[in-house]
Amino acid sequence: MGVYEELQARGLIAQVTDEPEIRDLVNNGKAVFYIGFDPTADSLHVGHFMALCLMKRLQMAGNKPIALIGGGTGMIGDPSGRSDMRQMLTPETIQHNCECFKKQMSRFIDFSDGKALMVNNADWLMDLNYIQLLREVGACFSVNRMLTAECYKQRMEKGLSFLEFNYMIMQSYDFYELFQKYGCNMQFGGDDQWSNMLGGTELIRRKLGKDAYAMTITLLLNSEGKKMGKTQSGAVWLDENKTSPFDFYQYWRNVDDADVLKCIRMLTFLPLEEIEKMESWEGSELNRAKEILAYELTALVHGEEKATKAQEAARALFSGAADTENMPTVALTADDFTDGQIAVNEIMLKAGLVKSKGEARRLIQQGGVSIDDQKVTDPVAVVSHDTLEKGHIILKKGKKVFYKVTLA
């Protein structure tokens, strides 16, 4: 089985421009492909996970990945999947985010000895002459055709800025530039990027008279059709300072029964034969599958040692054992206390379990918070400094989110 057939079997391929040609390129290690990442935050998140795993799979098969950091396109903001305009970032913030991305990508992609490239589209987009761009590239795009693109259609009712309208042209120009500079013959991306990617293949054909190819990967959706990678507290990040290895592990450990095998198939590197055996699993065996999923993905992002610690901590919690060494921890300082006390809702806010004290109070009123297995019923309940001097407490949100609370 070639890598293209494996991608098909794992359910990763959504749309392709020329299947026979793409199959030949990737199966024979002849693809020089790129995936773009706009630096809209200082960490990659689970939404990028599919793309990173795809790059790793294709590199393992002898193909050459180009990770394109959108230092230039990040100045505009992709309207795809958005109902409003993205926040404008400063050049300094974008540069900082680019540096963070580079570090995280290195866990997935081998950049040594020219096996992969990392380039920033700011290197060419920021120096473009507007009149020259209009003459050279603008004539290759039909406004009528652009307006039929899904990424624009969903924004037309609320209003689409001219700034964002240019995003497709900028992304297409990236492919055009990479094709000429690095021999990049393929672009991969999420299925919501299809229109932008076709713009690139068409620009290369019209300007250079040559063929380039595009393939979209299936979006990671749960059984309800919603994008995975979000929690009540926000995105699930790959940076351990934003989402701890334990919380990352717990996110995957708690996926629905209906989603676990799909996630194992699409995201892990376990052999397909091994995954096929799991398809008959049910009941408690699905919990075992969730553990496998959580461990494999945590090891991929954070390394085997941290994955093992996260797994041990999770097992200890659910078995009622007292081992809290690897549990996420919030350490309180003397400044956090008023008259020797701190409100439970303040601890929850400090731990990142809620976005506001109001949300914490509502959770308490709904019976969703406990301390050391005792349900908290008072929305203004407090914990004393004396209590924490005697030892830590375990703060629990819902059934599956735990935090150890200690003194710094």
DSSP string covering 193-256, please? GHHHHHHHHHHHHHHH----EEEEE---B-TTSPBSSEETTEE-BSSTTTS-HHHHHHHHHTS-
For residue 82, the model assigns a pLDDT of 44
Confidence tier at 88 by pLDDT (50, 70, 90)? low
Q: Which of 37, 24, 52, 1 is nearest to 186 (CA)?
A: 24
Question: Encoding tokens for residue 51?
Answer: 């793309």
Mean pLDDT lowest for which of 64-78, 98-112, 225-239, 314-328?
A: 314-328
Task: List Cβ neighbours of 35 (8 Å cut-off, separation of 6 or more).
Answer: 51, 54, 55, 65, 66, 67, 68, 187, 188, 189
Asked if pLDDT for residue 33 goes beyond 80, the answer is yes
Q: What share of the chain is helix, strand, coil (3-state, %, to 5)?
A: 50, 15, 35
For residue 329, the model assigns a pLDDT of 83
Asked if pLDDT for residue 210 goes beyond 80, the answer is yes
Asked if pLDDT for residue 304 goes beyond 70, the answer is yes
Give 335's Cβ-side CA count (13 Å radius).
1
Rounded to an integer, the average pLDDT of 288-311 is 95
Rounded to an integer, the average pLDDT of 28-33 is 97
For the chain, domains (ranges, CATH) are 3-217 (3.40.50.620), 230-319 (1.10.240.10), 329-407 (3.10.290.10)
Q: Which of 172, 198, 194 is nearest to 72 (CA)?
A: 172
Percent of the chain residues past pLDDT 90, beyond the cut: 43
- The Cα–Cα gap between 257 and 287 comes to 8
pLDDT digits (tens, 9 = 90+) for 16-29: 999 999 999 999 99
Q: Which of 319, 332, 318 is nearest to 401 (CA)?
A: 318
Element (H, E) at 394: strand 393-397
pLDDT digits (tens, 9 = 90+) for 254-278: 999 999 999 999 999 999 999 999 9
- The Cα–Cα gap between 231 and 235 comes to 6
- Give the Cβ contact number of residue 374 at 10 Å: 9
Sign of CA dihedral 201, 203, 206, 207: negative
- The Cα–Cα gap between 315 and 391 comes to 22
- The Cα–Cα gap between 9 and 78 comes to 30
Percent of the chain residues past pLDDT 70, beyond the cut: 92
Element (H, E) at 298: helix 284-302
Rounded to an integer, the average pLDDT of 145-165 is 72
Residue with tokens 């050459």: 64
Question: What is the DSSP code (8-state) at residue 61?
Answer: T
- The Cα–Cα gap between 291 and 311 comes to 8
pLDDT digits (tens, 9 = 90+) for 192-205: 888 889 999 999 99
